[in-house]
Amino acid sequence: MYEFILSLSRPQTLAAYLVAAAVFGTLLTVFLPYLQGNKLETRLKAVASQRERLRKQSRAALEKKGLRRKNDSVVGNISSKLNLAKALEDPNVVKLMNQAGMRGPGPISAFYFARMALPFVGALGAFIYIFFINDHGLSTVMKYGSLAFGAAAGFYAPNIYITNLAQKRQKSLMRAFPDSLDMLLICVEAGMSIEMGFNKVSQEIGSASPELAEEFGITVAELSFLPDRRQAYENLAIRTGHEGVKAVCMALGQAERYGTPLGDALRLMARENREMRMSEAEKKAAALPAQLTVPMILFFLPVLFLVVLGPAYIKYEKMQNENQAAPQIVSPT
């Protein structure tokens, strides 16, 4: 140890140590970036792999739901052979069925087949009931008019069914949509991409609204493979058909186009949707007294009259019976 300290005092040894340290520092400076790697490239690769994984999951989910481009069922073959889509064309049927959660060629073929078959079923049912069961004393013109009414009811029954189904689905979507916006805002502010945010929200919101989770899953798939990401937001607005969702999708599209912060837009949209839900609840509460007027007249007032006047009527009947049972006093003649 003493000899090592003495060697440090020699100029030749000290110069050699300094040169060695300078060479080591130079080598470390040159080769250290190669040893650390490119963090940006690593993160981009991670994002690309995550997007590819989401794309595969979304496509697998869509294929599992049976969203095929060709319908090989019996109803589909009949509809294609008879060309019912052109003969009974309805420009709003695809949009309405998407809002009802019916996607793919199968439900469309079933819709046109039902529109073709149900008028005959309705007319046949009216014919059997009127001519063989009970005609209710109708004239001949009214009987044939009933057949026409049955055919018309069968023709419009699919539209009425799908419209009611779309309205129920829209109510289920909007009950959970403000909460899903809050969750999406948390995901975005935590550093997640919009695809990962939609995917996470679709997993968490499934217990409250399976319909909204399904819509978000489809949006994740469309964000992955559509060339224009704004088209995915527009498709989400079309599938839901609600003004609140349209406003949110428009804000997301503008943020995608102009690069505005997503957090501010989502926070504003979440507050507006909560206020919209509260205003709808207040509107229903304000309309409740008027809606309860007729049920109260029909069901409450008769019971109230019975409770109030019942004891008086019973007492009156008792007095009448006592007067009839009392002995009559005959005056002497």
> Higher-confidence residue: 26 or 331?
26
Q: Is residue 165 part of a domain?
A: yes
Measure the CA–CA gap between 66 and 25, rounded to whole angstroms.
63
Q: Please check the confidence at residue 52 and state whether its pLDDT lies above 60.
A: yes
Q: Is residue 286 part of a domain?
A: no
Lowest mean pLDDT among 44-58, 142-156, 257-271, 286-300: 44-58
The pLDDT assigned to 35 comes to 59
With beta carbons less than 8 A apart as the criterion, state whether 109 and 73 touch.
yes
Measure the CA–CA gap between 239 and 6, rounded to whole angstroms.
85
Backbone CA torsion sign across 184, 186, 192, 193: positive
- CA-based nearest residue to 111, from 160, 166, 158, 163: 158
CA distances from 26 to 29, 30, 31, 32, 150 (A): 5, 6, 9, 10, 93
Measure the CA–CA gap between 302 and 56, rounded to whole angstroms.
64
With beta carbons less than 8 A apart as the criterion, state whether 104 and 66 touch.
yes
Measure the CA–CA gap between 312 and 177, rounded to whole angstroms.
57
Measure the CA–CA gap between 276 and 178, rounded to whole angstroms.
9
Length in residues, the chain: 333
Q: Is residue 279 part of a domain?
A: no
- CA-based nearest residue to 114, from 160, 169, 165, 67: 160
With beta carbons less than 8 A apart as the criterion, state whether 112 and 81 touch.
no
Instruction: Let me know how many helices (H) and strands (E) the chain has, helices first.
Output: 14, 0
Q: Is residue 318 part of a domain?
A: no
Q: Please check the confidence at residue 49 and state whether its pLDDT lies above 60.
A: yes
Kindly report, residue by residue over 294-320, the tens digit of the pLDDT: 888 888 888 888 888 888 888 888 888
The pLDDT assigned to 70 comes to 55
Q: Please check the confidence at residue 329 and state whether its pLDDT lies above 60.
A: no
Mean pLDDT, the chain, rounded, equals: 77
Tokens of 168: 């129920």
Measured in whole angstroms, how far is the alpha carbon of residue 228 from the centre of its chain?
A: 23
Q: Please check the confidence at residue 69 and state whether its pLDDT lies above 60.
A: no
Tokens of 329: 């006093």
Kindly report, residue by residue over 186-205, the tens digit of the pLDDT: 888 888 888 888 888 888 88
Furthest-apart CA atoms within the chain: distance in Å: 169
The pLDDT assigned to 195 comes to 84
The residue-averaged pLDDT of 227-246 equals 84
Q: Which residues contact 195 (CB under 8 A, 6 or more apart)?
A: 50, 51, 54, 220, 223, 224
Tokens of 64: 């599992």
Kindly report, residue by residue over 56-66, the tens digit of the pLDDT: 666 666 555 54
Give residue 82's pLDDT band: very low, low, confident or very high (50, 70, 90): low
With beta carbons less than 8 A apart as the criterion, state whether 267 and 185 touch.
yes
Phi, psi of 260 (to 5 degrees): -75, 155
The pLDDT assigned to 89 comes to 67
- CA-based nearest residue to 71, from 58, 59, 85: 85
Q: Please check the confidence at residue 3 and state whether its pLDDT lies above 80.
A: no
199: domain range?
63-274
- CA-based nearest residue to 135, from 153, 145, 154, 118: 145
The percentage of residues in the chain with a pLDDT greater than 70, rounded to a whole number, is 74
Q: Is residue 44 part of a domain?
A: no
Q: In the chain, how many domains are there?
A: 1
Q: Is residue 270 part of a domain?
A: yes
Q: Is residue 118 part of a domain?
A: yes
> Higher-confidence residue: 223 or 63?
223
Q: Which residues contact 248 (CB under 8 A, 6 or more apart)?
A: 181, 266, 269, 273
Kindly report, residue by residue over 96-116, the tens digit of the pLDDT: 888 888 877 777 888 888 888
Lowest mean pLDDT among 37-51, 131-145, 309-323: 37-51
Measure the CA–CA gap between 23 and 29, rounded to whole angstroms.
10
CA distances from 38 to 25, 79, 104, 220, 241 (A): 21, 58, 44, 28, 45
Q: Is residue 199 part of a domain?
A: yes
Lowest mean pLDDT among 41-55, 113-127, 258-272, 275-289: 41-55
Predicted TM-score (pTM) of this structure: 0.60
